[in-house]
Amino acid sequence: MTIHVSNQTSQQLYIDGCWVSPIIAASLPVVNPASEEVVAQVASGSAEDVDRAVAAARAAFAGWSATPAASRALVLGKIHELILERKEQLAQALSLEMGAAIGFARAMQVPLAAEHVRVARDLLSSYRFQTVEGGTAIQREPIGVCGLITPWNWPLYQITAKVAPAIAAGCTVVLKPSELSPLSALLFAQLVHDAGLPPGVFNLVNGSGAQVGAAMAAHPDIDMISITGSNRAGALVAQAAAPTVKRVTQELGGKSPNVLLPDADFAKAVPLGVMSAFRNVGQSCSAPTRMIVPKNRLAEVEALAAATANALIVGDPQSEETQLGPIANEAQFNRVQAMIQAGLDEGAKLVCGGPGRVLGFDKGFYTRPTVFSEVNSAMRIAQEEIFGPVLCIIAYETVDEAVAIANDTVYGLGAHVQGHDLTQARAVASRIRAGQVHLNYPAWNPMAPFGGYKRSGNGREYGVQGFEEYLETKAIIGFGE
């Protein structure tokens, strides 16, 4: 089965190396957020389909886990090649299903997804699955069948961040992509099939969280669940998984701070901070949406932030000039609008943007890039994840106060620190309670572990640490030197 962007309709699931119809015929619409029109119908699976997929993954586990690492690396290499070969088809699917600007999909969404596969492949040539210490062998073995639940905001990127290390480790997987952006996942399933992955190693069951996600979390033959999503979804998955005592890793919400120290280059740091916060239309859990700045520089920061936000080109995601497309779905658009109104109601200073659609668009979920200033940590917009192009500027008097503001949320996923004095910037970074801190806007590093403190989740993704989440540890005592 080949899925074309021009005809994104699939009434099938991918189970045990084949495209199959769901046991109970049902479908879910896929809505293009730029037009608000239904552009596809995809199969909606059920608990019975999860049972089929898990059975296939369980049957394939013995053979795949015993496959030499070099052989697994060859298949991953082929998957990597096919992602790059089909990058335009994947980029078009992403733009269609969740409104990513086509230039952003081509430059970021697809290439970064490919990097997760490359990293997993390359790790297999160096990772030591067995070490011997004082006569005891420490053996790392694949955990088993993994249920993977991915979100709608970075659809392909989050799929490869989970699937690639899992199958590299020797696990077999059942994937449930978001029902709101499933088209790129269908293309990925076809790509995996064409790469020659043995039947049952990778399975895809589309469907809702209530039907498919819940069945996966509770399934006794799934050994591990990895979910990227909202805090609510993460908590429900953990609760459903608890009776079977399976491993649960969660990458959940964030409210990441961006601390601009007094010696930062504000002319550079503020525009880059706005662009980082609004990347992917602000729909990134690690987006630095709280810009924490010296009080005596507040007017300067406001002017720089407004100039940057107002210059952004928001529009048709198929246009080469567009920088920000629409919000990915109606529910999220309504959430962003409600939070912008909450900022106004709580007395935050509106620097630019505001409620309502972008001028000239009466259709599509286009949101005005919005900057608030004079925000304090008691406000909802400073505490709750908005997941849209909304930036909060918060002023501080001392560096100690800046750190306290940075840590004053229930989240701890990402953070940024800007400053000329690296010693001070590093010291501030060490005091921020977050799983990943960026100093002076460094290049993305696919080997850097990613995950959260506090309510941002448990476990890590990317690089060696992300790979090891899919491994169990066995000690063989008396093994000998």
Catalytic residue among 97, 179, 251, 469: 251
251 counts as catalytic: yes
Is the CB of residue 326 less than 8 Å from the CB of residue 333? Answer: yes
Catalytic residue among 97, 146, 179, 285: 285
Nearest to 216 by CA among 49, 74, 373, 453: 49
18 counts as catalytic: no
Is the CB of residue 149 less than 8 Å from the CB of residue 120? Answer: no
- Residues recognised as catalytic: 251, 285
